[in-house]
Structure 1
Amino acid sequence: MSKYQELKPLLATKISSVDPTLEKLFNQSLRSQLALHLNTSTHSELASTLRTSLNDLTQALLNTPDSEHQAWVDLFGDASEALLAIYKDLALSESERHTSYINATGQVMSVDDAIHTLKDIYRVKAFIRGLQQAIMMRIGNNSTQQIHLVYPACGPLAPLLLPLLSYCAGKGITAEQLTITLIDIQPGAVKMLNRLVDDLAVRDYIKAILCMDVMDYQPDCSIDILVMEAFQHGLSHEGHMSFARHLSQFMAKDAVMLPEQVTIKAVLAKGQREYNDQWQQQPRCHSTLVNLLIQADRIELGNVFTLTLDKLRTMPVLPLGDGFEIIECEQIKIPAGVVDIAQRILLMTASVTVFGEEKIEQYDSGITHPRSDMSICIDFTPKVPEPDDLLVKSGDHIKFYYKLCGTPGFLPTLA
């Protein structure tokens, strides 16, 4: 059986890090948007509800991190509902809501799609906790120096920061200690950000909210904390790598980048077992719910790429002309003597260290779902070949490169 035949059952199963209950709550909120005439909440009431829900969420994230999953569903559901109510009240134009495109560094999501980001519970949890620790560490190291925090490609909600910022204001962290630059290329996102900043009463912390391409940003002071998550599973689709390379030149010598480390590894696995069988009896996807027998059946091939701030500052980039660049990554070997190797697909797995001990493991979030590379054909020739198929034999070595372009991601080649 070829890998393509084996993966047909996957069409009936959708793997998602979004809790099904939270998805249903979101759907119900969307239904409520169809009844605009029933909405009698005032601007101040919407803002008050938002502040309460985000404060409750952040208090729980920081003080009771080991709460049961259902508690997170309830808290994130309340916060999502409050944010969606404000988004609806803002009444963006169709163009502001729905425009999406691909530019020189990757996909630019529509604002309507970006409002889903708060639903990724364990990603937001890790970033909020990690960022709070990073801010407190910097203040502790030098309480008299103002921290410049930059959050590029932050979307309409800036979900990895704004809940925490409201909390910080209540804990005595002043605007003299912390100043923030928010950047997004979507005009609709910037309108929503300005509304949220005012509704949360945190305008004093904001140095600027910029509507621009991150690649054009030239700060007038160094960056002390860079918080950014502009990629999909397997460091794909969006411009995270290009943004990080560009911004690294403006970062202070002792700056902190969140996430601190993104590690991409390659494994061989059976697609049906990995993506379908493993989750048949589970209510959702999460690293704590993986099937240990199925995980043990994987064949680990090794590290493909590790992204850190130090790596950004030193890694070689190969220009290929016309503004196209690639980054040299690691090399792996396809093992010999594996009987069922033609039934296996190559997966790019991701683990993210946000800060310190705050991590996002495989299947915890949409950004850490293993990504299959169907272009790599091991010990078989596909019946319907694709232009980018890479025919590989057992014992061969694969060298990876990372593409810095409008379709960012890893490019496998025969070594």
Structure 2
Amino acid sequence: MMEKDTRQNGELILAQSGPATLLSPMDSMAELNRLLREQLAQDDASPTPSSVVVTGPSQTTVSVSDCATEVVTSMLLANDDKKVQIQLQQLFEKLLVIYQQADISIADRKRQYIAAHGLVMAPDQCVTTQTDTHRVQAFIRGIDAALTKLDREQPEGSLRLLYPACGPFAPLLLPLLTYYRVNERFGRQRLQVTLIDMQPGAVASLQTLVQELQIESFIESILCMDGCDYYSERPFDLLVVEAMQHGFSREGHLPLVQHLVSQLSPHGLMIPARVLITAQLAVGQYEFIERWRNRSANELPLSVERIELGEILSLTKESVSQLQTLNLGIDSSLVTCNQVTIPIIAADLGPQLLLVCTQVFTFGLDKVDEYQSGITHPLPDSQVCINFTPSDPKAGDLLLESGDQIKFYYRLNGLPGFLATKGNA
């Protein structure tokens, strides 16, 4: 029998404590309201990147091309994370000055909305991705390794790379292209890149940065459109997509991959090569507060004090074509994911919080593990109540017990994300 207990308040925990700022699970209307409130308040809010003034010696002594080349050199050597972090910050400051001075309207910098396939973030909110050390390094190393492999195996013609939803800085690629130019890797026309973003402000920024970094010879086109609407007459050799937030939520990564992977050549590669999402149980107080207060606890493997339920979804170039989609009506589609079993949980462990956990494997051995980046922080689903009945029940609560099955689906429309349901025994 279920015991009466108080819900673990995952939202409050995440808003007040933990290693980074995480967003709590919301329904689409609540999230839309939050975005609208943000947009209404933006003009009076604290300074955004477009109004920050960057000062210091990094502005005047080293060029933006030199900064990009130095940080990529350090990344490819992969021997000093602290050095990479400092160099990425210096590169960000250079890029930010260029972005601030570009001819981009305030409206185009701040525009943020929910499109058919997910959240489209304002350019002002995207620029700081450049400082996400583990994410940027894993992708740049992965892209370099993939291009090296393609260059070796396909010695003739051009290698075509597609990078949709790339944002105003295209942070996972532009520094690498600058490094290639300076080091004379990939001669003229050998590597051809198509950049796509829905935001006019992002496209204007990209056009400016490509000129500043002197990498025009690598750019086939820069397009302002939804990547889910893009079709190419010629296949691509490498698809680079990173459009997700923690818990593989909110942005349109999966719809983009579903649409674009068919435009890869037979030998084509996708980065990340694999996105692995698992379901796990944890005590919220320990996972998001005690673990980070207690250094010795933080050094323990994440598996300690967690109960792993299993894989929800593994997204690869091969698996994406095998996904089954349920169409529930106009603009309402779900991808069928895996089912997991809740084991017998000792009563003294207390109420368990369902976590959606993500690992991103870019290429080869390079990956982004849990908590290394904003995109790999675990996302709690506080509406799933296991072995307890909440004292403050809410619409949409899912009451489950040990031994029950959890069947997962993935929403493709509005705000993408996982939907947990009671599965069949």
TM over 0.5: yes
The equivalent residue for 1:265 is: 278
1:221–1:340 distance in 2 versus 1, CA, 3 Å: farther
Off by >6 Å, runs of 4+ in structure 1:
29-32, 45-48
The equivalent residue for 1:61 is: 75
Q: Distance in 2 between matches of 1:7 and 1:192?
A: 35
Segment drifting more, 90-99 vs 52-61: 90-99
The equivalent residue for 1:156 is: 168
Q: Give the counterpart letter for 2:79 in structure 1.
A: D
The equivalent residue for 1:114 is: 126
Structure 1 counterpart of 2:369, from 361, 367, 379: 361
The equivalent residue for 1:140 is: 152
Which whole-Å deviations, capped at 9, do the CAs of 1:41-100 have from their partners, x for residues lacking one?
9xxx9897211111110110012x021x43223111111110111111115211111110
- Tell whether 2:412 aligns with 1:404: yes
Q: How does 1:274-289 map to 2 (within 5 A)?
A: 274-281=287-294
1:122–1:337 distance in 2 versus 1, CA, 3 Å: closer
Shift of 1:4: 2.7
Residues 111 and 188 of structure 1 are in contact (CA less than 8 Å); yes or no, is this contact kept in structure 2? yes
Which whole-Å deviations, capped at 9, do the CAs of 1:288-321 have from their partners, x for residues lacking one?
9943176411111111110001011222212212
- Tell whether 2:147 aligns with 1:130: no
Q: Distance in 2 between matches of 1:157 and 1:318?
A: 35
Structure 1 counterpart of 2:305, from 283, 297, 309: 297
Which whole-Å deviations, capped at 9, do the CAs of 1:320-348 have from their partners, x for residues lacking one?
12032111111111112421455210111
The equivalent residue for 2:27 is: none
SS of structure 2 residue aligned to 1:4: coil
Q: Distance in 2 between matches of 1:100 and 1:116?
A: 16
Which residues of structure 2 form unaligned runs of 5+?
Answer: 23-46
1:46–1:213 distance in 2 versus 1, CA, 3 Å: farther
Q: Distance in 2 between matches of 1:324 and 1:9?
A: 32
Residues 47 and 199 of structure 1 are in contact (CA less than 8 Å); yes or no, is this contact kept in structure 2? no
Segment drifting more, 119-128 vs 171-180: 171-180
- Tell whether 2:12 aligns with 1:4: no
The equivalent residue for 2:217 is: 204
Number of equivalent positions? 393
Q: Distance in 2 between matches of 1:323 and 1:154?
A: 25
The equivalent residue for 1:184 is: 197
The equivalent residue for 1:327 is: 335
Shift of 1:252: 1.0
The equivalent residue for 2:38 is: none
Q: Give the counterpart letter for 1:56 in structure 2.
A: E
Structure 1 counterpart of 2:397, from 384, 389, 396: 389
1:294–1:146 distance in 2 versus 1, CA, 3 Å: closer
The equivalent residue for 1:86 is: 98
Segment drifting more, 171-180 vs 210-219: 171-180
Q: How high is the TM-score relative to the length of structure 2?
A: 0.87
SS of structure 1 residue aligned to 2:8: helix
1:407–1:32 distance in 2 versus 1, CA, 3 Å: closer
Q: Distance in 1 between matches of 2:66 and 2:210?
A: 14
SS of structure 1 residue aligned to 2:339: strand
SS of structure 2 residue aligned to 1:116: helix
Q: Distance in 2 between matches of 1:113 and 1:10?
A: 20
**Equivalent pairs: percent with the same residue?**
37
Shift of 1:9: 4.9
Which residues of structure 1 form unaligned runs of 5+?
Answer: 19-28, 283-287
Which whole-Å deviations, capped at 9, do the CAs of 1:211-239 have from their partners, x for residues lacking one?
00111111121011000100001110000
1:12–1:35 distance in 2 versus 1, CA, 3 Å: closer
- Tell whether 2:267 aligns with 1:254: yes
Q: Distance in 2 between matches of 1:290 and 1:143?
A: 47
The equivalent residue for 1:352 is: 360
The equivalent residue for 1:23 is: none
Q: Distance in 2 between matches of 1:253 and 1:391?
A: 46
Q: Distance in 1 between matches of 2:348 and 2:107?
A: 50
Q: How high is the TM-score relative to the length of structure 1?
A: 0.89
